């Protein structure tokens, strides 16, 4: 039993030092996969619009936690529309706009026209999504810390 205690940290170190590729890129089959994905972006954005509407209709925007959640929803709407446009730009790009194989992580984009620039700009969607999740977290945290009688 004791030798296993000594080997375990070394084994964990080796596994962390030499990771295998995650292969986290998911490509959608054309055209059905793209249609479903685009519809999902629109439905998610619509759900966020509806949630903002319901929160403001009930007057919950006066509570700080819900104010923050409304801003998170605004960022989620922005991100969904941003991603929708990015997927459209990707479809409009020709295969000649890329250097390298589609499965190559080092594939390069040739900036030939406005569509390439739109596609490139929409690949920076983490600049919208990370603040959205941060605001979502802060809104939920504010609601949890709120005294129970204050929301009613």
Give tens-digit pLDDT for 74-123. Answer: 999 999 999 999 999 888 887 777 787 767 777 788 888 888 889 889 98
In a domain, 13, yes or no: no
Please write the tens of the pLDDT for every residue from 29-77: 677 778 888 999 999 999 999 999 999 999 999 999 999 999 999 999 9
- Nearby residues of 139 by Cβ (< 8 Å), 6 or more positions away: 65, 66, 67, 68, 69, 71, 72
What is the domain extent for residue 119? 31-147
In a domain, 19, yes or no: no
d(CA 92, CA 89): 5
Q: Which two tokens stand for residue 35?
A: 């249609």
In a domain, 23, yes or no: no
In a domain, 45, yes or no: yes
Q: Crossing angle, helix 64-92 and helix 126-145, to 10 degrees? A: 160
How many distinct structural domains can be found in the chain?
A: 1
């Amino acid at each position: 039993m004791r030798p296993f205690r000594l080997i375990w940290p070394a084994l964990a170190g080796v596994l962390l030092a030499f990771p295998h590729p995650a292969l986290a890129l998911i490509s959608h089959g054309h055209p059905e996969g793209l249609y479903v994905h685009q519809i999902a972006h629109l439905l998610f954005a619509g759900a966020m619009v509806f949630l903002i509407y319901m929160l403001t209709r009930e007057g919950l925007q006066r509570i700080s936690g819900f104010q923050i959640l409304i801003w998170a929803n605004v960022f989620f709407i922005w991100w969904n529309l941003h991603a929708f446009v990015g997927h459209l730009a990707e479809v409009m790009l020709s295969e000649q706009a890329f250097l390298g194989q589609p499965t190559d992580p080092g594939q390069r984009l040739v900036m030939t026209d406005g569509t390439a620039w739109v596609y490139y700009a929409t690949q920076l969607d983490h600049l919208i999504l990370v603040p959205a999740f941060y605001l979502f977290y802060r809104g939920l945290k504010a609601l949890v810390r709120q005294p129970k009688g204050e929301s009613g």
